[in-house]
């Protein structure tokens, strides 16, 4: 068996999330089917392991997965073969041979997410599947000051949706920063951390844009950490604006070299 690592992108609009579900079109399901088709009916079904799940409507600029193939192929053949079979809303960016003990999920040391927020009184019909929408005036400096309060290790219980299966809500945010793109009329917010909980990024964005629009106090995030109450964080921003931008593995980032502890996965 040869283990391959894939880096790939997808438009999440028409997918029911990443995780395979019976009777539903999912990223994992489509990719698994094509990997098995490339193997030409292997004796045992090949399982594809992703770096983590994304929800319905969430996009990926660089998701990662691995699988064990029953015979060895050149990486260029894997790259071209899968791209020739995949639908137009998915693309393999890179195929690599990796060590037998590499694991796309358990060896993760960090992830980076991007949230795109389209501004204006009404939603842009050409961006509705690729951005969230915010119709209120927003102060980007206030947003960045609020984001600074998220940096560090915290209990993110106020920022996790019900249905989470995580054994701990403690996570570390290494960096969080917003910028305004005038030509696009967009606010773009990046989060880099050692791991993210269910809907955590979308809830954090909801809180910081409310602060930026003076709908909540500038110093509200430390209070939310203290109370640990999801209801007080209020809104969850739309999935359409969220992108998995990069998955980091041990050795790729010298500043943050350790993988997420098992109890936090």
| Long-range contacts, 41-49 (Cβ 8 Å, 24+) | 42/70, 43/70, 46/70, 49/103, 49/104, 49/105
| Gap between the Cα atoms of 211 and 147, Å rounded | 10
CA distance 194 to 199: 15
- Distance of alpha carbon 35 from its chain centroid, rounded? 22
Residues making up the chain, counted from first to last: 265
Q: What are phi and psi of 210, to 5 degrees?
A: -65, -40
- Find the catalytic residue in 33, 55, 139, 155: 55
Within a 13 Å sphere around the CA of 170, how many CA atoms are in the beta-carbon half?
7
55: annotated active-site residue: yes
Give the Cα separation of 243 and 38 in Å (integer). Answer: 28
Task: Provide the 8-state DSSP code for 105.
Answer: T
Give the separation between CA 147 and CA 133, rounded to whole angstroms. Answer: 19
DSSP 177-235: EEEEEGGGTEEEEEEEES---TTHHHHHHHHHHHHHTTSS-TTHHHHHHHH--HHHH--
**CA 68 to CA 256: how far, in whole Å?**
28
Q: Which residues belong to the active site?
A: 55
């Amino acid at each position: 068996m040869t283990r391959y690592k894939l880096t790939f992108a997808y438009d999440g609009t028409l997918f029911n999330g990443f995780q395979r579900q019976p009777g539903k079109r999912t990223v994992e399901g489509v990719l698994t089917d094509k990997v098995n088709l490339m193997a030409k009916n292997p004796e045992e079904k090949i399982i594809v392991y992703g770096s983590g799940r994304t929800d319905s409507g969430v996009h990926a600029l660089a998701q990662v997965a691995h699988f064990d193939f029953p015979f060895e192929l050149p990486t260029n053949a894997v790259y071209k073969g899968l791209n020739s079979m995949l639908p137009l809303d998915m693309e393999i960016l890179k195929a690599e041979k990796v060590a037998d003990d590499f694991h796309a999920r358990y060896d993760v040391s960090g992830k980076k997410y991007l949230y795109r927020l389209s501004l204006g009184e009404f939603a842009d019909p050409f961006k509705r599947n690729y951005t969230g929408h915010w119709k209120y005036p927003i102060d980007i400096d206030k947003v960045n000051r609020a984001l600074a309060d998220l940096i560090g290790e915290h209990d993110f219980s106020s920022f996790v949706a019900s249905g989470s299966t995580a054994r701990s809500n403690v996570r570390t945010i290494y960096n969080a920063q917003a910028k305004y793109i005038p030509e696009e009329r967009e606010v773009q917010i990046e989060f880099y951390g050692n791991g993210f909980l269910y809907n955590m990024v979308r809830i954090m964005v909801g809180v910081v844009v409310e602060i930026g629009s003076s709908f909540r106090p500038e110093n509200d995030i430390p209070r939310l950490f203290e109370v640990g109450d999801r209801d007080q964080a209020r809104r969850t921003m739309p999935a359409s604006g969220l992108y998995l931008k990069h998955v980091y593995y041990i050795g790729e980032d010298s500043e943050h070299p350790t993988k997420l502890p098992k109890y936090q996965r």
